[in-house]
A = this chain, B = another copy of it.
């Protein structure tokens, strides 16, 4: 409302109040103006805290436990640090966090996402219980063990799907092209979390090894070593290390991987505490690798991924291709509080091999390359307003235009306005995919555009960053 977007000079508080309206009794209103600042001793601070705690515990309008207040207090101390990486974890969260850094979990083995408010299978893992049971990409999970999961968060649904190895979970599935819901029972198993994936790319008579690291968990360094040895035994001429989308993990995992790649006598990373005391983690690799190495990074490469990228550039003199990394330059340590709960607290700053602080800045690749625009689009969905068509405009249309352009159907514009040329692009797409050629994006067409986009994004040949790295590597091999 126009008239509400104003502030009274000198009476700001009224509009602070507008956001937090309040009915006040005025008993205490006149005592305190002009009171001098008081500096409290540590003891007085604790007293003040305990006073606040007991007032809230005894007088707040709703019941509240002391446990809840103390946990809130610990979280509040951490929040005041303004450090997103320093967190308190109660028992339950702590246990889950450990599992997430472990090397396996028990469940069905599928990627899921929340799409249009429904828990949707993105893809079952290869040879997982989910795949064996016949779950397919885009299946929507409507019920778990006969109970509707409407209203559950993705996280809550995932917790229900998970469970002990050998037990069975019944999933009620909605599948495009099927008129009725149907049930699929899935026997849960042990699902390995593969944090290292190896591949060989043959190009121009050369064998290029590709090691993709998806996170740095407990056994990542061991798996990396195994896979690297296997690639070397196959006689690779170069090695690509892909840490795109890798959010980090354990410091010693990246240290151990660094020792396999960075020439000895060079620091892989340095860490520094509040007092400025430094520890250097040195590489002890005997000989420089006889083949070129190139890293791959993007904006989601964080933390341990950044350590590795910087070490490749500064410690190894290698190239890194892709995008500027996330910029997380601190190291956390987990500290037990005795009752199963934990503090994860930032205790150190880490510096790159050459001693640079990348916090908030990230590591700049030696060769900067973005992916094509359609790699960055949000999932396409058709809302309650029905099909997208001529002369309409919305973010979803912009999305669809970017996707269509990406997969080879020129929509004329990519700003969200559905013009005649967009209609022609949609019609052409529909013809090519055996859909009714209406020129309108209904649910079926949207789902197909989405599917074709995902297919296209997953093809190595469309991965501009990877292709740039391969080209650079071939140049280095031929030098």
Contacts and interface: CB of A to CB of B under 8 A. Distances in A.
A365 interface: no
Contacts of A28: 333-336, 342
A100 B340 contact: no
B33 A98 contact: yes
Contacts of A193: 8, 11, 14
Given A20-B85, A29-B98, A81-B60, A337 B274 contact: no
Contacts of A339: 38, 40, 44, 48
Nearest to A348: B61
B13 A91 contact: no
B76 A249 contact: no
A316 B59 CA distance: 33
Contact of A73 (B73, B101, B300, B303): B73
Contacts of A112: 6-9
Contacts of A429: none
Interface residues of A, number: 163
Contacts of A432: none
Interface in A23-81: 23-40, 42, 44-46, 48-53, 55-56, 59-64, 66-81
Q: Which residue, of A28, A42, A106, has the highest number of chain B Cβ atoms within 10 A?
A: A28
A307 interface: yes
A85 B171 CA distance: 43
Interface stretch (A175-183, A201-209, A373-381): A373-381
A474 interface: no
Contact of A251 (B1, B23, B51, B99): B23
Given A32-B98, A111-B7, A12 B377 contact: no
Q: Which residue, of A76, A333, A393, has the highest number of chain B Cβ atoms within 10 A?
A: A76
A247 B305 CA distance: 49
Contacts of A331: 23-25
Contacts of A64: 80-81
A71 to B, nearest CB: 7
A108 to B, nearest CB: 6
A390 to B, nearest CB: 12
A252 interface: yes
Contacts of A6: 111-113, 122
Given A12-B155, A24-B101, A375 B2 contact: yes
Identical copies of this chain, number: 2
A1 B399 CA distance: 12
A193 B9 CA distance: 11
B100 A2 contact: no
A346 interface: yes
Contacts of A33: 95, 98-99
Contact of A17 (B248, B345, B350): B248
Contacts of A23: 248-251, 254, 303-304, 307, 328, 330-332, 350
A217 to B, nearest CB: 9
A5 B112 CA distance: 9
B8 A111 contact: yes
A417 interface: yes
A69 B357 CA distance: 26
A2 B379 contact: yes
B417 A9 contact: no
A386 to B, nearest CB: 15
A18 B251 contact: no
A109 interface: yes
Which 8 residue pairs are nearest across A and B when measured between Cβ atoms? A76-B76, A13-B100, A72-B80, A10-B107, A21-B302, A21-B247, A73-B73, A21-B248
15 contacts: A5-B379, A7-B113, A14-B193, A17-B215, A18-B300, A21-B248, A22-B247, A24-B332, A24-B344, A38-B338, A52-B337, A56-B77, A56-B86, A59-B274, A69-B80
Given A6-B112, A9-B161, 12 more contacts: A18-B247, A23-B304, A27-B334, A29-B250, A31-B336, A32-B342, A36-B340, A40-B67, A60-B346, A72-B80, A75-B80, A417-B417
